[in-house]
């Protein structure tokens, strides 16, 4: 074999090895970056879910308060409608000095 052919084979083998190694490095780098984003996104997601849970709970409490106030007013109006009310007197005339 000639020296040029031997040199070409060595360059092709070394080039292929370097190319495959760089592809494996790039793949591993992208996998780690993807895993890191998932972990960060998961932490952010759990915080957002907790925030939504707190908001829903406080909204439920406020709705319950509104419902209780509505029941109270309805009870007062029902009691007022069933009790006979005394005739409303007109206010007495008051003479005010000018």
Look at residue 80 in the predicted model and tell me its pLDDT: 84
Cite the DSSP H helix spans in the chain: 3-82
Which among 59, 79, 56, 78 is positioned nearest to 67, based on CA atoms? 59
Look at residue 70 in the predicted model and tell me its pLDDT: 94
pLDDT block averages, 10 residues each, the chain of length 98: 89 95 95 83 76 95 95 90 70 77
Question: CB burial class (10 A; 0-12, 13-18, 19+) of residue 64?
Answer: exposed
Look at residue 85 in the predicted model and tell me its pLDDT: 62
Look at residue 41 in the predicted model and tell me its pLDDT: 58
Look at residue 65 in the predicted model and tell me its pLDDT: 95
Look at residue 37 in the predicted model and tell me its pLDDT: 79
> Residue 55 and residue 50: Cα distance in Å, rounded?
9
Look at residue 22 in the predicted model and tell me its pLDDT: 96
> Residue 79 and residue 84: Cα distance in Å, rounded?
10
């Amino acid at each position: 074999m000639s020296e040029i052919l031997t040199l070409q084979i060595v360059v092709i083998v070394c080039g292929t090895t370097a190319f495959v190694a760089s592809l494996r490095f790039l793949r591993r780098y992208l996998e780690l970056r993807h895993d890191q984003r998932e972990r960060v996104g998961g932490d952010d997601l759990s915080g957002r879910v907790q925030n939504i849970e707190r908001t829903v709970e406080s909204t439920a409490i406020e709705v319950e308060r509104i419902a209780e106030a509505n029941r109270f007013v309805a009870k007062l109006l029902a009691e007022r409608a069933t009790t006979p009310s005394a005739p409303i007197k007109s206010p007495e005339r008051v003479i005010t000095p000018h």
